[in-house]
Protein backbone atom coordinates (compact mmCIF):
# COMPACT_ATOMS: atom_id res chain seq x y z
CA UNK A 1 0.00 0.00 0.00
CA UNK A 2 2.93 2.33 0.45
CA UNK A 3 6.35 2.94 -0.90
CA UNK A 4 9.28 4.77 0.59
CA UNK A 5 10.66 7.75 -1.27
CA UNK A 6 11.79 11.30 -0.73
CA UNK A 7 8.70 13.01 -2.15
CA UNK A 8 7.02 15.76 -0.13
CA UNK A 9 4.07 14.65 2.00
CA UNK A 10 0.72 15.30 0.39
CA UNK A 11 -2.08 16.84 2.46
CA UNK A 12 -4.68 14.65 4.16
CA UNK A 13 -7.91 14.57 2.17
CA UNK A 14 -11.26 14.71 3.95
CA UNK A 15 -13.69 11.86 3.49
CA UNK A 16 -17.18 12.49 2.22
CA UNK A 17 -19.55 13.21 5.10
CA UNK A 18 -21.98 10.52 4.02
CA UNK A 19 -19.76 7.43 4.02
CA UNK A 20 -16.44 6.24 5.40
CA UNK A 21 -13.83 4.87 2.96
CA UNK A 22 -13.53 1.68 5.06
CA UNK A 23 -16.92 0.47 3.84
CA UNK A 24 -18.37 -0.29 7.27
CA UNK A 25 -21.47 1.67 6.30
CA UNK A 26 -21.29 4.70 8.56
CA UNK A 27 -20.37 8.35 8.09
CA UNK A 28 -16.65 9.08 8.28
CA UNK A 29 -16.90 11.30 11.37
CA UNK A 30 -18.70 8.55 13.32
CA UNK A 31 -16.49 5.76 11.98
CA UNK A 32 -12.77 6.06 11.17
CA UNK A 33 -12.74 9.83 11.57
CA UNK A 34 -12.97 9.48 15.38
CA UNK A 35 -9.89 7.23 15.36
CA UNK A 36 -7.94 9.44 12.96
CA UNK A 37 -8.64 12.48 15.14
CA UNK A 38 -7.50 10.62 18.28
CA UNK A 39 -10.96 10.89 19.87
CA UNK A 40 -11.29 7.09 20.15
CA UNK A 41 -9.22 3.94 19.83
CA UNK A 42 -10.01 0.86 17.77
CA UNK A 43 -12.00 -1.72 19.75
CA UNK A 44 -10.86 -4.63 17.57
CA UNK A 45 -8.06 -5.55 15.20
CA UNK A 46 -10.55 -5.34 12.32
CA UNK A 47 -11.56 -1.82 13.33
CA UNK A 48 -7.89 -0.79 13.34
CA UNK A 49 -7.32 -2.39 9.94
CA UNK A 50 -10.37 -0.58 8.51
CA UNK A 51 -9.17 2.73 9.97
CA UNK A 52 -5.71 2.18 8.49
CA UNK A 53 -7.25 1.48 5.07
CA UNK A 54 -9.18 4.76 5.39
CA UNK A 55 -5.96 6.52 6.37
CA UNK A 56 -4.27 5.18 3.22
CA UNK A 57 -7.27 6.31 1.14
CA UNK A 58 -7.17 9.80 2.67
CA UNK A 59 -3.38 10.19 2.87
CA UNK A 60 -3.20 10.35 6.67
CA UNK A 61 0.45 9.33 7.14
CA UNK A 62 0.55 10.51 10.77
CA UNK A 63 -2.23 8.09 11.75
CA UNK A 64 -0.58 5.22 9.90
CA UNK A 65 2.71 5.77 11.72
CA UNK A 66 0.97 6.29 15.08
CA UNK A 67 -0.82 2.93 14.80
CA UNK A 68 2.25 0.95 13.63
CA UNK A 69 4.07 -1.25 16.15
CA UNK A 70 7.31 0.51 17.16
CA UNK A 71 9.40 -2.60 16.39
CA UNK A 72 8.36 -2.58 12.71
CA UNK A 73 7.36 1.07 12.11
CA UNK A 74 9.41 2.81 9.41
CA UNK A 75 11.03 6.13 10.25
CA UNK A 76 9.15 7.71 7.37
CA UNK A 77 6.29 6.76 5.07
CA UNK A 78 5.49 8.28 1.68
CA UNK A 79 2.29 7.19 0.00
CA UNK A 80 1.92 6.52 -3.71
CA UNK A 81 0.05 9.63 -4.87
CA UNK A 82 -0.90 7.98 -8.16
CA UNK A 83 -2.95 5.24 -6.50
CA UNK A 84 -6.58 5.87 -5.48
CA UNK A 85 -8.07 3.36 -3.04
CA UNK A 86 -11.60 2.46 -4.14
CA UNK A 87 -12.92 -0.25 -1.82
CA UNK A 88 -12.20 -2.72 0.94
CA UNK A 89 -13.30 -6.30 1.49
CA UNK A 90 -12.61 -8.02 4.81
CA UNK A 91 -12.19 -11.70 3.95
CA UNK A 92 -11.40 -13.26 7.33
CA UNK A 93 -10.54 -12.34 10.89
CA UNK A 94 -8.94 -14.39 13.65
CA UNK A 95 -8.73 -13.20 17.25
CA UNK A 96 -8.44 -9.46 17.60
CA UNK A 97 -11.35 -8.86 20.00
CA UNK A 98 -11.44 -7.42 23.51
CA UNK A 99 -10.60 -10.91 24.79
CA UNK A 100 -7.42 -11.28 22.70
CA UNK A 101 -3.93 -9.80 22.74
CA UNK A 102 -3.39 -10.44 19.01
CA UNK A 103 -5.34 -10.98 15.85
CA UNK A 104 -5.11 -11.23 12.10
CA UNK A 105 -7.25 -9.72 9.37
CA UNK A 106 -7.22 -10.94 5.78
CA UNK A 107 -8.49 -8.33 3.36
CA UNK A 108 -8.57 -7.24 -0.24
CA UNK A 109 -8.05 -3.53 -0.94
CA UNK A 110 -9.14 -2.31 -4.37
CA UNK A 111 -7.44 0.57 -6.14
CA UNK A 112 -7.10 2.39 -9.42
CA UNK A 113 -3.81 3.75 -10.74
CA UNK A 114 -2.25 4.67 -14.08
CA UNK A 115 -2.34 1.03 -15.14
CA UNK A 116 -6.05 0.67 -14.34
CA UNK A 117 -7.93 -1.12 -11.57
CA UNK A 118 -6.21 -3.58 -9.26
CA UNK A 119 -6.39 -5.19 -5.85
CA UNK A 120 -3.97 -5.95 -3.06
CA UNK A 121 -4.73 -8.90 -0.82
CA UNK A 122 -2.90 -9.59 2.42
CA UNK A 123 -3.15 -10.94 5.93
CA UNK A 124 -2.10 -8.37 8.50
CA UNK A 125 -1.12 -9.04 12.10
CA UNK A 126 -2.25 -6.83 14.96
CA UNK A 127 -1.12 -6.77 18.58
CA UNK A 128 -2.45 -5.05 21.65
CA UNK A 129 0.27 -2.75 23.02
CA UNK A 130 -0.39 -0.86 26.26
CA UNK A 131 -4.11 -1.50 25.75
CA UNK A 132 -4.25 -0.22 22.16
CA UNK A 133 -4.32 -2.19 18.92
CA UNK A 134 -1.31 -1.64 16.62
CA UNK A 135 -0.36 -2.99 13.21
CA UNK A 136 2.64 -5.26 13.09
Examine residue 3 and state whether it is found in any structural domain, yes or no. Answer: no
Examine residue 5 and state whether it is found in any structural domain, yes or no. Answer: no
- What is the pairing mode between strands 102-113 and 2-3? unpaired
Examine residue 9 and state whether it is found in any structural domain, yes or no. Answer: no
Examine residue 99 and state whether it is found in any structural domain, yes or no. Answer: yes
- For residue 37, the tally of other CB atoms under 10 A from its CB is 11
How many Å apart are CA 66 and CA 134, to the nearest integer? 8
pLDDT band for 18, please (50, 70, 90 cuts): confident
Examine residue 10 and state whether it is found in any structural domain, yes or no. Answer: no
Q: What is the pLDDT of residues 82-109, one digit of tens each?
A: 999 999 999 999 999 999 999 999 999 9
Q: Is the pLDDT of residue 5 over 80?
A: no
pLDDT band for 14, please (50, 70, 90 cuts): low
Task: Tell me how many domains the chain contains.
Answer: 1
Question: What's the domain range around 75?
Answer: 18-135
Q: What is the pLDDT of residues 59-72, one digit of tens each?
A: 999 999 999 999 99
Phi, psi (degrees; rounded to nearest 5) at 87: 175, 155
Examine residue 4 and state whether it is found in any structural domain, yes or no. Answer: no
CATH of the domain at 78: 3.10.450.50
CA separation (Å) from 1 to 22, 60, 84, 97? 15, 13, 10, 25
pTM comes to 0.86
Amino acid sequence: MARRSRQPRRPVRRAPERDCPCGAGGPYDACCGRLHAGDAGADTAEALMRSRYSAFALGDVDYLLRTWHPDTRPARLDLDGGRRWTGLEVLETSGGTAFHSSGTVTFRAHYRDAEGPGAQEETSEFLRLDGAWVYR
